[in-house]
Amino acid sequence: MKLALFDLDHTLLAGDSDVLWCEFLMRQRVLDPAEFAARNADMEARYQAGTVEAQAFADFYVGTLAGRTPQQWEPLRQAFLAEEIVPRIPAAAQELVNRHLDEGDLVVMTTATNRFITELTALYLGIEHLLATETELDGAGVFTGRTCGTLNMREGKVTRLHEWLAARGHALGKFSSIAYSDSINDLPLLQAVTRPVAVNADPRLAAIAGGSGWEMLHF
């Protein structure tokens, strides 16, 4: 069996889920644009540059969920998927996922964005297995605005992957593995697999991919 790992944002999606979520909430007046828009843009820029601390990045976006239960967020989450996510999934990205699924590969979406925001996207794409940053709920089932466990970001993606495979009785070295990503933040993951593929690569990743002879795709 082959293992196919897909990053989400700017790889399978023409955009960033976290940023799009915040922009959606500002349009819905859940977040105040006057207070939040500049902070959102700054966080996106620092992530793209690979300079933001992983915990600061995760806390910033998971914090948007604080104070409500998953059930209270659900209508907005469904609207977000339909209005912001589905129109931004390139046909070529869906076709690539489908090709791996049709070949019987073990297909996994692995994203730094939190599970609550991304699990509907994974399901829409037909991907059963999702590795994502996990969110904390308090005793009443309300989002605290904090993460829990190892962040699924940078080296954390590799850690989480090894843990997930071990729980299934597998090891990464037993697979012929392929990973798709756009971001320099995913360099540890790309270097851990048999076949790294740069998709819509940012400038830093494009330079590494070109110098290493990696396959490069653009959707």
Burial 172-194 (b: 16+ CB within 10 A, else e): beebebbbbbbbbbbbebbebbe
- Per-residue model confidence as pLDDT tens digits over 2-49: 999 999 999 999 999 998 999 999 999 999 998 888 888 888 888 777
* Mean of pLDDT values over 139-156: 96
pLDDT for 4 equals: 98
Nearest 5 degrees, angle CA 54-CA 158-CA 86? Answer: 70
| Residues 186, 206 contacting (CB under 8 angstroms) | no
Domains of the chain: 2-217 (3.40.50.1000)
- Does the pLDDT value for residue 50 go beyond 80? no
pTM of the shown model: 0.93
| Residues 114, 135 contacting (CB under 8 angstroms) | yes
- Which of the residues 9, 18, 105, 186 is marked catalytic? 9
- Residue 9 annotated to the active site: yes
- Residue 105 annotated to the active site: no
- Which of the residues 7, 16, 105, 182 is marked catalytic? 7
Longest CA span, the chain: 51
- Per-residue model confidence as pLDDT tens digits over 94-122: 999 999 999 999 999 999 999 999 999 99
